[in-house]
Structure formats: structure tokens, C-alpha cells
Amino acid sequence: MSIQQGGQAEQQQQQQQMREERSSFGRLRNLLLDDDVDQPQQPPLDGDAHARSAGDGDGDDGGEAVVVVLAHNPLLAIQRVRWFSDVRFALSRRQDAHRYIAVDRLTLEDPLVRLAIDQATDCDAASSSLTSSYPASSASSSSTPAPAATTSNNAQISRLRNENMRRASKILSNMASRLSTVLIRCVGWTLRKCLRALFSAVYVRVDQNDRLREAARAHPNAPILFLPSHKSHIDYLLVSYLAFDADISVPHIAAGDNLNIFFFGGLARRAGAFFIRRKLESVMRSGARQSNTNADRGSTADLLDQGSQDGTDPTWEVGLDESPMGSASRSRSASGPLLPWLLPSPVGSVVSLTGQLEVAAPSGEQQQQPSQQHANNTPPRRRSDSRATAATRDTVYRAVLRSYVRNLLRIGGHLEFFLEGGRSRSGKVAMPKYGLLSLVVDTFLDNEVDDVLVVPINVSYDQIVEGDYARELMGAPKQPESFFGTLRGLARTVMRSYGSLYVDVETPFLLTDFLRAATRPEQAQHLARTASVDSLHAGRPHDLVLTPAPASAFLGSSSSASSFPSSSNTSIVPVALADLRTTVLPALTRSRRREIVDELGRRVLHSVSNLATLTSTAMVALLFTTRFRKGASMSELTNGFNWLVAEASARGRAVGYIPGGDAEDAVVYACTLLGADLVDVNAEGLIVPTTSVPNIFTMCFYANQAASMFLIDAVVASVIHMHLKRELGLQNEQEDELPVLSQRRRSASVSGAVAAVKSNPSTPNRKRAASVSSLEYGFSISHDELIAGAQEVCSILAHEYIFHRPHETPLVELLNHAIAGLVKNDVLTLEETLRPDSPARYEVSLDPASMELVRFLRFTIKPVIDSYWMSACALLPLLQGEQTESAFVRNTQQLANEYLQAGVLECPETISREAIKNAIQLLESWGVVTVQVASDVRTLVLRERYQSRPALIAIAKSIAQFS
């Protein structure tokens, strides 16, 4: 669409000006418009030399986009078909054919896969009471078989081996992507058309786009690891489209095999998808005990470990679709050394199979090695057998997956996967899963690739094509993907517009740079060792020099881009890169490797969450879920919106493009996209959100994307509120006698009490009267109390949010910053002290504006805290006996409903299944419950020391205090 179609040039200029104000973080580029046809050639707004040189006609498309957003309808979308320019676009993008080479042969010939096939064959042989033909197998019987028997035995084993080879080959052909430059040009052309039919614009910031191109150009041999947020299936397409547009070879994308459906799976495969199982059977080494809590969970210990030395804590989440590796996951760890049988061996060597495969039996069942069963002449148990077979298959599967990913990286193929696993149902960034990430880190640590360029990406949608995830958050199972389901979905989506979307790309960083920052302690040790050896040789003492390290020392070649470290400029002089690769990194213990992968995952997802452009829908939804649950006038909403825009700007967050340019337009636009199911206008003309389930979940999905901006402030606000409740004597009323509700608590609310205190300081209530004098003009909290309380909140929510980036700004620094912000906003006033060294104290203002701000902030996390509180309350029935996880979730939801009806809880989204499941992880990591898994059923059991009502109430109270 040309600019003239949108109206007057003057109007365009005005819109352009308004837009420039909104996108003060740099120019936006609409990836769906032709560089040289649609976008007016303009000088860069910020005079950025990169932007100018990267050119490609990256003129700002503001005016054009305004027209498109306002005038979007399917007919116009059809009018906008630009066959020739799109073909030229698809043909002109540079693609490196070598990055698309199929690695099937390399994978099947990989010694690791061969070894896994042998291992699986050995296990199959053992469970069929055959004697393994492999020399070192412990499955060998003590008695020597007769020659005829041996021949038949070997023939059968050879047959089993062939079966396993066929299995490996089938696994690979089901898995592998099928990219080619020709195909990818077709896909690029098709994607452009599809995205244009669905969205008004796909925005990317020019500076970010340029930095991505530059990094790719500066490191031509480094595979790129794209790690995007995951909220919609469109994410897959977008990242590939972004890469294609930027002249970067498109990535091979790890997709769940649930998406490998007829026809569409084939298309996705040609667009770069490789399909992986989302769950794997677990396998154990002989002699190792697997925790029954982990019986059906995949373990990538075998995949992760590459000859590590420490032999501790072998369990590692498979990570394809498993829960995060947190303390809970670690607590499920088995004891004992790792599987040696899947470690790569020198090519051609005969591998010892003495580390027999053993499969975790269901809870309490004694393990017995197949070889022992054979030797004892006892028939193998059926259940173990079936699990053994499944686990054996997974042995081969793991090896194929590992080898496939390694080979893709070796040929320089770019990779993309979703650290969060599945799509986020809540709109928040979910906790990272580590399986694939650990494979990439391992490939690097094993010197298979020189470096990896890591690119965190966030995609923000005005509206997602999926509609909502409310059903699933209520507790309904996910509808499995199918051919007809996809057709129906496409038919539903194709005739409407979903607004714009924003792709935010963090400055790429090298894995080496991250590891350099992450392994500072090891580097210090290395330097100390080297220094002592040197000094021994030199015959003089040698001091380990602590000097301010130049930032560039940690930044590698992408110095301007990378962000390690930021918190301190004093550090130990880093070791040389060669030493890092040859000495420091190989010496990392397995548990350190895990920690580092964990930190990398968190670092990336923290960026992803904080990169997000704030869309109008997210900001309006945030206002509705915090300040205006009961509705608001248009002027209240626009004031709130403007306040959010100012806050975003102050916090360095980009705000989405606002059609029309002013707040009212944005509010109307957002309300229209949210739809009549979520927003209505009542008889008094107030704009009222739906606050009941299930629709509130959709509102929260958008709100949570903007709420991340206030996360740390919300934590501090919750602590202030906790102290306020204490001062008002409300705390015990709210938290005691769980879970039975008492009538008197219905009226207990802090806002009500504050109002009462302020309007009638001489209230007869003794408890309140006692606090009146202190509350008349506020009350005070020490800095240390605030920090300690905030750290407690962060530890409660550790399975829900990532509060800070590892190796960069420490949490305390962020909390101090948030406290300073509240001082600036007059919520807190630093008390004057007579002695300069006395601890800082703040007076908390009870002024309505301050209370309103505190309420706004804490409501961004309150529903989650309440879900955790309810989950803790729902533990009480476990005193009578264990419960399956699904029953526990249902009971918690029921309990939360009762509390909601009684008026104790205010947010219906408290019943979110996702939050309750995260709460279970917290309770597990606190050692309150164990989660036992048998036959895919997860069961919650109270740990011994929590098998009393007071102990459980104490747990619930420790959470409830921050509600």
C-alpha cells in the first residue's frame, strides 16, 4: 500500500512524529515491506552509523505502518500481494548451502551411535536370554555355550543388532530437517505472504537487526544459536524469516514431535524443523539407584557427561519438555556414578559394555541386572522388560539426537530451540529446560566447534493467533495437534488481523565470552596454580594480581555487543583464551557444567523477558488486572497508559507502535484486539474488564508481558505490604486456621483497614487502636528488613521468575535500585538519623497515591503468591495420605475457589494450573513433599518432618504473609 492511500502527507508526518516519540529506542523496520519499494528513504533518526551503512533501504516505515494498521482488512491484504517484489526478495537473500547439508550419514556412522546400538543390542539380548557376542559384555554367561548354540546365539544377536541399526536410521529419518537453498527461498517467499495475511506489520529495531547481521558476518564459522521466547507457533516462522531477511542461513529448529503431523510436518521439515521427542524413558547405569521420584523422567546425564571427573549427582533433566533443573530436580538425583556406556570411544575401538544398562523399576522394586537375571536363570520380570525395551530404544534415541545436534553444529548449521519447552500459557517467560542447551554447550566444551553465537530473541504479539490458553490453565488437557485440527485452526485465523508483532533481538554474544565470565573462580584457581608453579621455578613468591580488568578482556571479539560482566570492573585477570579452552574448561566438573548451563539458560531467558517490546494490548491488560479490575473511564485508562509509557521509557523498555499516536487511540486499539469477551462498556460508560475465569487468563496472558518490567519493584512492594499488615494486626487473621475460613476474615483487607484508621484514628478495636498512633502518619521499615523480606519473596518465586542475570547485576543491587525508586516516588522516605552509621530506615507513606502505587505493583505478582499459598494450604489433606498431582491441582483450585467466594482472595486467576504446578516444584525443593512417579502418574507424598498440621501451617503462613 502506498503512502498516498493512507491519506495526506501532513497526516503521515504527524503520525511519523508521534511514532518517533514512542519508539525512542531506535528506528523500527517492518520486515513485511520491501526495502526499496515501500519504505521512504530517510536518514536514520539517531544518526547511527551502523544503521546508515547497513542501509538496504532501511528507511523508517512509520507512515506506511500507520496506514496498514488502521486500514487492515483481508481484502486490502490481498491487494497488497506483490508477486514480483516478493520473488526478488526471496531470490536476493544470501544463503550458505553448506549449512543445510544433511548430516544423516555422519550421524549414523558416529561412534557414539554405534556404541548405543551395541549397548541396546546387548540389553535386548540379555532380556531374550541370549548371550551377548560383544567381548566385554558382562551379560556373558559363566559357562561356555556349545558351538551350535553359539552360532545360533550369534545369528540372533546379529539380527537384534540389525534391528537396532534400522531403528537408529528410522529415528533419524523421523527427526532430521530437510533444508536446501531452493526450498528455503520458496519458504521465505511463502512466509512473507502468510505473515502479511495475518499481521499488519512485523517490526524489528533497525539497530538490533544490524547488530545481528554484523555479528553473523564477524563470526562466519560460528553456528548461531537462536533462543526465542515461545508464546505462539508463529515464533518458529518468525525467527527463520528474520534470519532469511538478514541474509543469514535459516536455523534448524528443534520442534516437538507433536508437530510432526501429516503434510504440515513435512512442510515444517523443509522449513528447517527437526522433530524431537518431548519425553524420554530414563536409563541407569548398573549399580546406580534411581530415585523413585524420577522413574519416568528422562535423564540426559548420559548425554551431558563427557568424561567428567567428579562422579556426583548424575541426574540431569532431559530438558526437551521437562521441568527446570532447579533444586527440585537436583533433589531427585540418583547417587552413584554415571553411564560410561554412552561416552564416545575412539573410532574402531571395542567398547566395554560392563556398565550394563539397568532400568529404573517402579518405586520400591529391587533392581536386577539383565546379566544377573540370566546367570540366575530367572525369567526377567515383565514390567522391567517393557521398560527396559523402552529405555533401550531411548538409549539409541539419545545417541542419535546428540550426534545429530553435534553434527549440525560441526557443519556450521544454525540452531533454534525454545528454552522454555512448550509455549508459555501465562504470558510470562517460563523456566528454562536444559537438555538441548547442554548438548550445545557440550559440543563446544568438547572442542567440536570453535564458538557459538548466542542470540536471545523475544517476540511480542499484539494478539496471538492461538486465541487463548485459558482452558489449559483451568485444568483441561491440551488438545493434541492433528491435520484436521490444523486446517480448522488455519481457517479460523486466516480471515482476520492480529495486529502487529515485534521481534526484539538481543546483541548476540559468544559462548566463550559467557564461559569466561562464568568460570572466573576456576580461572582464579588456574592462575593461582600457575603462579605458584612459576614462583617455584623463579624461587620467589608470586602474588595473584587483582586488577581492574578492562571490560574488553571479557568481551572477546564482539566487545561492543556483549554484556559480561557489568556489575564489577574489578576481577581477576582472565586467563588466555587458549588456556581457557585447553585447561580451565575441560577441568570443569560435571556439577559445574550443569551450574553453568543453568546460568546460561537463566541469563538468556532473563534477557528475553526484559527485551520485550511492550504492546498496547499488554499495557492495557496490565492496567485492567491491577488498577482497574472494576473498570475505568477512558480518561483514567489513558492517564494510566501514559504513565506506563513514561515508566517504560524510564526503565529502558521499548513501547510498541501506537496506531494513531496517542494514548486514547492505543487504548481503543488494544480493547478492540482484546475483544468483547474481555472488555465491555457498562451502563455508566465505564470500560470494564472481564475478571472471571476463564477469560481473565487471557487478560493476564497479555498483562504478564508488561508486568515483567515491574518485577523487582513488585517484590519490594509485597514486603512493604506485609509490614503494613503486621502494623495493622491483620496478618494473623488472614493466615491462621488453614484452610477453614472464618466469617470475620471476609472483611479483612488492608485497604479497608487503612481507610478506617485514617478516617477514625480512635477506633475502639484494641488491636487496631494500638497501631493507630504509629499508622496515623505511616510507619517505618529498616532497609535490612526490606532486603531480607524481598530475598524471601524471591526465593518463594524462584520457580516462577528469573530475577536477575547470573554474573551480572546481583539481586541486592536490583533491590536497592527498586527501593530507591520507591523513595523517589515518595512511597518511602529515608528517616534522618543522628548517627551516620546507624542502619537506614524508611517511613512508609500511607498517602492514597503511595498506597495505590504499592497496590499496583504487588498486584502484578499477587495472584502467583496466592496460588502458592493455596497450594501450601492444600497440603493438609496429604496428612491423611498421598495424592496424585492432578488430584492435588484440582483440590488446590477448589480451595482457591472457596477463598475467592469468601472474599479472602481477590484474583480468580489464582486457580491457574501452571502456577500451582510451579508451587509444587517449590514445595519439592523445600523438602516439604516428594513427587513419586510411576507409570506416568505423579504422586505427592509429604516428607516425614512435615507430617504435622503446625508444620504445614507454618509453610503456608510463610507464603501468605506476602499476599
Ligand X SMILES: O=P(O)(O)OC[C@H](O)CO
Interface ranges with ligand X (CB under 6 A):
255-256, 258-259, 418, 422-423
Closest distance of CB 466 from ligand X, Å: 9
Closest distance of CB 259 from ligand X, Å: 5
819: CB partners within 8 A, 6+ apart: 716, 783, 786, 787, 828, 842
Closest distance of CB 469 from ligand X, Å: 8
| Shorter beta-carbon distance to ligand X: residue 498 or 779 | 498
SS3 (DSSP) at 705: helix
Closest distance of CB 575 from ligand X, Å: 39
Closest distance of CB 452 from ligand X, Å: 22
| Shorter beta-carbon distance to ligand X: residue 255 or 717 | 255
Hey, how many other C-beta atoms are within 10 angstroms of the C-beta on 531?
16
What CA–CA distance (Å, rounded) separates 197 from 494? 7
| Shorter beta-carbon distance to ligand X: residue 440 or 923 | 440
Is the sign of the CA dihedral 568, 571, 577, 581 positive or negative? negative
| Shorter beta-carbon distance to ligand X: residue 430 or 738 | 430
| Shorter beta-carbon distance to ligand X: residue 489 or 810 | 489
Closest distance of CB 520 from ligand X, Å: 35
* Assigned C-alpha cell, 95: 544463503
Closest distance of CB 424 from ligand X, Å: 8
Closest distance of CB 49 from ligand X, Å: 38
Closest distance of CB 278 from ligand X, Å: 7
What CA–CA distance (Å, rounded) separates 749 from 186? 60
| Shorter beta-carbon distance to ligand X: residue 29 or 230 | 230
SS3 (DSSP) at 689: strand
Closest distance of CB 254 from ligand X, Å: 8
Beta bridge partners of 829: 843
Do the beta carbons of residue 127 and residue 385 sit within 8 Å? yes
What CA–CA distance (Å, rounded) separates 175 from 282? 20
* Assigned C-alpha cell, 771: 497501631
| Shorter beta-carbon distance to ligand X: residue 192 or 423 | 423
What CA–CA distance (Å, rounded) separates 294 from 892? 24
* Assigned C-alpha cell, 361: 523399576
| Shorter beta-carbon distance to ligand X: residue 278 or 542 | 278
| Shorter beta-carbon distance to ligand X: residue 275 or 869 | 275
| Shorter beta-carbon distance to ligand X: residue 57 or 422 | 422
Closest distance of CB 485 from ligand X, Å: 12
619 closest CA partner among 803, 462, 467: 462
| Shorter beta-carbon distance to ligand X: residue 258 or 312 | 258
What CA–CA distance (Å, rounded) separates 873 from 880? 14
Phi and psi, residue 110, nearest 5°: -65, 130
* Assigned C-alpha cell, 672: 478492540
| Shorter beta-carbon distance to ligand X: residue 256 or 863 | 256
* Assigned C-alpha cell, 873: 494450604
| Shorter beta-carbon distance to ligand X: residue 344 or 421 | 421
Is the sign of the CA dihedral 457, 463, 466, 469 positive or negative? positive
Closest distance of CB 690 from ligand X, Å: 24
| Shorter beta-carbon distance to ligand X: residue 218 or 259 | 259
Closest distance of CB 910 from ligand X, Å: 23
**Alpha helix (H) ranges present in 199-298?**
206-218, 234-245, 264-270
What CA–CA distance (Å, rounded) separates 453 from 66? 35
DSSP string over 315-340: --B--SS----SHHHHHTPPBSPPP-
Closest distance of CB 829 from ligand X, Å: 47
827 closest CA partner among 863, 781, 792: 781
Q: Which helix (H) or strand (E) holds 500?
A: strand 500-505
| Shorter beta-carbon distance to ligand X: residue 479 or 773 | 479
Closest distance of CB 294 from ligand X, Å: 21
Residue with cell 492432578: 886
Do the beta carbons of residue 454 and residue 226 sit within 8 Å? no
Closest distance of CB 296 from ligand X, Å: 18
941: CB partners within 8 A, 6+ apart: 878, 882, 929, 930, 931, 932
Rg (CA), the chain: 30
Beta bridge partners of 225: 415, 454
Q: Angle at CA 913, nearest 5°, toward 909 and 915?
A: 75
Q: How far apart are the first and last CA of the chain?
A: 51
Closest distance of CB 527 from ligand X, Å: 44
| Shorter beta-carbon distance to ligand X: residue 419 or 942 | 419
Do the beta carbons of residue 673 and residue 499 sit within 8 Å? yes
Do the beta carbons of residue 445 and residue 414 sit within 8 Å? no
510, 567, 666, 777, 787 from 514: Cα distances, Å: 7, 14, 39, 49, 28
| Shorter beta-carbon distance to ligand X: residue 236 or 624 | 236
Beta bridge partners of 956: none
157: CB partners within 8 A, 6+ apart: 121, 125, 130, 131, 132, 133
619 closest CA partner among 589, 599, 644, 584: 644
What CA–CA distance (Å, rounded) separates 224 from 677? 41
Count of all residues that appear for the chain in the document:
963
| Shorter beta-carbon distance to ligand X: residue 114 or 423 | 423
Closest distance of CB 418 from ligand X, Å: 6
Torsion of CA 840, 846, 847, 852, to 10 degrees: 100
